[in-house]
Amino acid sequence: MMKEYQQVNGKDKEKIEIELLLQGLYAWCGYDYRNYAYNSIRRRIWHRVHAEKLGSITGLLEKILHDSDCLKRLIQDFSIHVTEMFRDPVFFLAFREKIVPVLRTYPSIRIWHAGCSTGEEVYSMAILLQEEGIYEKTKIYATDISADVLKVAKTGVFPIANMRKFTTNYIKAGGTKAFSDYYDVKGDTVKFEINLTKNIVFAQHNLVTDRSFNEFHVIFCRNVLIYFDKALQNKVHQLFYDSLGMFGFLGLGDRESILFTDTAGCYEELSSQEKLYRKIK
């Protein structure tokens, strides 16, 4: 009986330790991961525990409170940065064919890339809009919780090894030029032309704790919400709803949806496969 109790109690203790760590992180520096998907956040916490050669999650909490470098490493572990240019090309093709014609009728355009990571998707959109002749009247707001990835995004410098994949994506997304026209090769990296960033504003923004900061015609948040629990997903969807102008467009990742959120009835579905929606009320 005692052995069985200890096993159950051990699981409970782990949850308590994780809750204390996340609460401490929020109280200490304002990063709120308390409603992230539990299994995902648990894996990342244990990865950091082992990487720091610690024996417990409580030990990690103690270390991040007294070691700013360890805190930065943990935040980096929590930040998901899997991205590529023209990722899911059919999404960009659908945007080009279904939404760009509407945007052409606007005198000015505001687009928000929420959770922009290292910026590949933002540069992709700048290229697409330039080819469609509407970049000059567009302002793109590219935000992320991580200051480190925003620094990378601002440089427009990416590994040359990625260019073959990015070029294939670009062609499938309906690209109209040679993709290599948009960057210069510098050793084992490429730098995208500075012209692409002239209408881009890079800034830190926390989807969990920060509020709406403008009204947008288009909001992209792709492959970010899958790391949140249902309650937090609903909260962020409310933020997007509040930030979208009437008849504005919302683009999500291929594993994400507005179904079962409080705002689901406020959108019409433009493409179920590409997860493109339009706000209608």
Domain assignments of the chain as residue spans, ordered by start:
2-78, 89-279
pLDDT value, residue 2:
46
Higher local confidence (pLDDT), 109 or 83: 109
What are residue 114's DSSP bridge partners?
143
Read off the pLDDT band of 9 (50, 70, 90).
low
Average pLDDT over residues 84-111: 97
Answer yes or no: is pLDDT of 12 > 80.
Answer: yes
Q: For residue 80, what pLDDT band results from cuts at 50, 70 and 90?
A: low
Model confidence at 245: pLDDT above 60? yes
Give me the pLDDT at residue 5, please: 46
Check whether 4 has a pLDDT greater than 70: no
Identify the pLDDT of residue 60: 95
Under the banding of pLDDT at 50, 70 and 90, the label for residue 81 is low
- Position 10 confidence tier, pLDDT thresholds 50, 70, 90: low
The whole-number pLDDT of residue 20 equals: 94
Quick one: average pLDDT of 151-160?
96
pLDDT value of position 11: 72
pLDDT in tens, 96-107: 999 999 999 999
pLDDT of residue 177: 96
Report pLDDT digits (tens) over 255-277: 898 988 999 999 999 988 899 99
- Return the sign of the alpha-carbon dihedral for residues 11, 228, 91, 270: positive
Which pLDDT score, from 0 to 100, does residue 164 have? Answer: 96
Position 1 confidence tier, pLDDT thresholds 50, 70, 90: very low
| % of the chain surpassing 90 pLDDT | 76
Nearest to 201 by CA among 106, 128, 82, 113: 113
Q: What is the mean pLDDT of residues 19-28?
A: 90
pLDDT at 165 over 60: yes
pLDDT of 172 > 60? The answer is yes
Least reliable range by pLDDT among 21-25, 72-76, 143-147: 72-76
Mark residue 213 as left, alpha or beta (left: phi above 0; alpha: psi -120 to 50; beta: remaining). alpha
Closest CA relative to residue 113, chosen from 78, 87, 74: 87
CATH (one of 1.10.1040.10, 2.60.40.1170, 1.10.10.10, 3.40.50.150) for 89-279: 3.40.50.150
Mean residue pLDDT across the chain: 92
Calpha distance 136→127 (Å, rounded):
11
Give the DSSP per-residue string, 97-135.
Answer: IIIHHHHTTSSSEEEEEET-TTSHHHHHHHHHHHHTT-G
CA distance 67 to 247: 47
* pLDDT at site 112: 98
For the chain, give the percent of residues with pLDDT over 70.
Answer: 95
More reliable by pLDDT, 209 or 135: 135
pTM: 0.82
